[in-house]
A and B are shown apart, each in its own frame.
Chain A
């Protein structure tokens, strides 16, 4: 697993971190089972396993199609136990809006009560952020509506470096976009690739036909063709990029949509590929497929009104996970002493691409097995306790938070927050999505700056500060997404190579695979904030591989 994860991350992960992750992964399963997570069992009572994208052996423990959710419920129950024991105090419906830093050390946060609007400082010996990824910078993603970068970005503005912001994972198996009012994209679990076969018609003229009418010999099972040994189980970045390539070639399926490309040309494409279960149904029977994937099939039918037992599913890649995040050292401590970041919010273990099932593994490893040790180590020398509310560092952070809220509410312009967010999302998807180019990225930086200016001139944030005000919450998050989006483009622009989820069209092999430049780019890009409008400062953390040899990834 150590090797798979380093390779899957396209040799852009820190080797020591991955090693640690692989070492504690077994303890994680033990811990979760003990907490009551109902993993799948064999008839003998032992835990069952299966294989997952980017891996050829069956070694992933699972709980039907909702492993992630069950692990979360396990952690939630364990947390509620601590709440009952009085060791954890829960502040539901509170949002961190600022970090308190005194003498260069993290000493607390400022949070807004999302019901009453009250802004309060909370100070402490150390701060841990576990605030998730930033996929919603693209507006449309598989992430929850509440996903945002504010906590990490506020820390960045206060001095924490931001690592590899451009590494984004685009997940291959999502339900295609249906229209302009769409608010999120739905992921169909990756496990479907175990039994479903992905194809597009060989001939563009077949794309409008009913897929059941297209004979076997006119179908292109392109992943099986290009990657005979991994087939439909290639890592996510590869599966996604190939789906895009098929559609760009004019062999996509589903409704025709109009797109405007980088040079302003409008053209028509279909954005979808088939994920076909007819083989699996004839092999396992309909009941067999239902037992494995029933809930996913129901969900698909509910959303698309098509029955996947009868007609192949249509899928298309969507933004799913962000490998980049706040830079942390081996102890998960940021460049601000006393500030630790765990889970998807940090950049740590996945390099340029993450393998299936490893996000939760990393999050649980960070929280259960890494932080308890490293934080204790930190606390041994730092126990200054709370700061008074009138401490200048506290006052500064509280005032800055209130000032931004007042500023947002005072603009009273003509455009809604979401209209800006959607526009930002379009820019990011078009220029900093699955295929990136120097020209496009440069253009995107300019567009984002303009859009941000317009936002501050013309946004309309309704309501008042002292209330449950969801428009205000979204506006505050968007402010940080603008700045993050710009840094993502700058990072993508500077990395003149392709690796994992970062694909620069200028750097590809003749077969269209990602081409790394290890001599120049085998490092983590850790960006330092240089003030409003300043040019971010790049710090390089070299990636040294001792146990594993750097190779070009091959899944053929």
Chain B
């Protein structure tokens, strides 16, 4: 198929970028979206132009490196029933003659480094504020000494699948990272190991979230609609509940 691409080009250090048009031909429907961009880059290089910078690593939807906004939707929306990452989007979701607009995540907390590449280390700093369990190596008790109810453990797992891609932020009109933060909080609060630091964790992570310049959550739900891992809005309610509780509790006191 033949396509017209409108791609955001922004030089490193530049305050602004702009959409540039490219034509591409011989795109097969079995190709992934990023393979289509690889092909464009091969053609640009052959023509002596600088290729488009974009991030990707695993190319199978598990590392969270690759997101871009495609035709206005974070990660794009293919014909798959569930949202996917950009790297899992295939060209069979598009048609011959389509025009596709490709832009980077746009959020104050995610500065553009070049073209489609953004700096997402703000999410790392949210984790640093408390997205862990304080256990030193070698000090762990026997794994079987802690029983974890299966259903809660499954809920922890559902939230642990968050890959930190940042699509929720890109989709949110407020550029809030609340879905990401709540996935981490909900993962850990559903495990027995996560209880001791539960309230301190939520306070600190939300504090860091705000300090990074992410916006507030106003329950719009765009985040969950694009999340490739199906993290639910319910996780944000869980976070809010614990955040409120945390105001009345010192850390170390668990919920009755």
> Which of A's residues lie within 8 Å of B, judged by CB?
27, 29-47, 63-64, 66, 69-70, 73, 76-78, 80-81, 83-84, 90, 92, 115-116, 144-146, 178-179, 181-184, 186-187, 298-299, 301-303, 305, 368-369, 372, 414, 416, 418-419, 460, 462-463, 467-468, 470-471
A470 touches B58 (CB 8 A): no
Judge whether B138 and A181 touch: CB under 8 Å: no
Specify which of B117, B124, B187 is in contact with A36 (CB 8 Å cutoff): B187
Complex alpha-carbon distance, A299 and B57, angstroms: 17
Are the C-beta atoms of A467 and B114 separated by less than 8 Å?
A: yes
Q: In the assembly, what is the distance between CA of A43 and CA of B153, in Å?
A: 10
In the bound complex, how far is the Cα of B143 from the Cα of A30, in angstroms?
Answer: 4
Is B53 an interface position by the 8 A CB rule? yes
**Do the beta carbons of A41 and B56 come within 8 Å of each other?**
no
Is B171's CB within 8 Å of the partner chain A? Answer: no
Contact A84 B12 (CB under 8 A): no
9 tightest Cβ-Cβ pairs between the two chains A and B:
A45-B147, A34-B140, A84-B128, A77-B132, A33-B143, A38-B157, A30-B140, A81-B132, A144-B57
Pairs across A and B, CB under 8 Å, 11 listed: A36-B133, A38-B154, A41-B148, A45-B153, A145-B59, A146-B57, A179-B28, A182-B31, A368-B137, A368-B138, A418-B38
Our pick among B12, B39, B127 for the contact of A115 (Cβ within 8 Å) is B12
Does B222 lie at the interface of the complex (its beta carbon under 8 Å from any beta carbon of A)?
no
Give the nearest-CB partner of A83 in chain B.
Answer: B128
Q: Complex Cα distance A418/B42, Å?
A: 8
Number of A-B contacts (CB under 8 A): 183
Is there an interface contact between B193 and A80, defined as CB atoms closer than 8 Å?
no
Q: Is B141 touching A34 in the complex (CB atoms < 8 A)?
A: yes
**Known A145-B59, A372-B137; contact A35-B132, beta-carbon cutoff 8 A:** yes
- Is residue B82 within 8 Å, beta carbon to beta carbon, of the partner chain? yes
A355 to chain B, nearest CB (A): 21
Question: Beyond the given A34-B139, A186-B60, A298-B82, could you list 11 further A-B residue pairs with CB under 8 A, ordered by the A residue number?
Answer: A38-B153, A38-B191, A45-B149, A47-B143, A69-B62, A145-B56, A183-B59, A298-B80, A299-B60, A302-B90, A368-B137
Instruction: Please report the total number of B residues contacting A with Cβ < 8 Å.
Output: 69
A36-B193, A183-B34 known; A80 vs B131 contact (CB < 8 Å): yes
- Which listed residue (A38, A44, A92, A179) contacts B121, Cβ 8 A? A92
**How many Å from the CB of B148 to the closest CB on chain A?**
5
Q: Given the interface contacts A31-B140, A33-B193, A305-B92, does A184 sit within 8 Å of B61 by beta carbon? A: no
Residues of B within 8 A of A460 (CB): 45-46, 48
Q: Is there an interface contact between B132 and A80, defined as CB atoms closer than 8 Å?
A: yes
Q: Which of B32, B121, B127 contacts A183 (CB 8 A)?
A: B32
In the bound complex, what is the Cα–Cα distance between A368 and B140 (angstroms)? 11
- In the complex, A35 Cα to B29 Cα: how many Å? 42
Please encode chain B, from 113 to 151, with 1 for each CB lying within 8 Å of some chain A CB and 0 for all others: 110010001001001110111110111111110111110
Contacts of A69 in B (CB 8 A): 62
Taking a contact as CB atoms under 8 Å apart, the answer to whether B149 and A35 are in contact is no
If A145-B56, A186-B60, A299-B88 touch, whether A34 touches B193 (CB-CB below 8 Å) is: yes
CA distance A41 to B192 in the complex (A): 13
Distance A372 CA – B143 CA, assembled complex (angstroms): 22
Query: Given A80-B131, A144-B58, A467-B114, A31 and B137 touching (CB < 8 A)?
Result: yes
Whether A33 pairs with B146 at a CB distance below 8 angstroms is yes
B63 within 8 A of A: yes
B160 interface hit (Cβ, 8 Å): yes
Residues of A within 8 A of B132 (CB): 35-36, 77-78, 80-81
Identify which of B127, B132, B161 gathers the most chain A CB atoms within 10 Å of its CB: B132
Contact (Cβ within 8 A) B140 A27: yes
- Smallest distance from the beta carbon of B196 to chain A beta carbons, Å? 12
**Interface: B69 (CB within 8 A):** no
Question: Are A181 and B146 in touch, CB under 8 angstroms?
Answer: no
A38 to chain B, nearest CB (A): 4
B51 at the binding interface (Cβ < 8 Å) = yes
Q: Bound complex: CA of A80 vs CA of B188, how far in Å? A: 15
Cβ–Cβ < 8 Å partners of B92 in chain A: 305
Closest to B82 in A: A298
Residues of A within 8 A of B149 (CB): 41, 45
Judging by beta carbons under 8 Å apart, are A183 and B38 in contact? yes
B30 near A470: Cβ-Cβ < 8 Å = no
**Cβ of B210: which chain A residues have Cβ within 8 Å of it?**
none
Q: How far is the CA of A34 from the CA of B187 in the complex (A)?
A: 13
Picked from B45, B58, B147, the residue with its CB within 8 Å of the CB of A44 is B147
Assess whether B113 is in contact with A179, with CB atoms less than 8 Å apart: no
In the complex, residue of chain B having the shortest beta-carbon distance to the beta carbon of A84: B128
User: Given A145-B57, A462-B51, A43 and B135 touching (CB < 8 A)?
Assistant: no
Least Cβ distance of A421 to chain B in Å? 11
> Which residues of chain B are near A372, meaning CB under 8 Å?
137-138
* Chain A residue nearest in CB terms to B29: A305
B84 at the interface (CB under 8 A from A): yes
Q: Which residues of A contact B56 (CB under 8 A)?
A: 145
The answer on a CB contact under 8 Å between B160 and A462 is no
Collect the chain A residues with CB atoms within 8 Å of residue B146's CB. Answer: 33
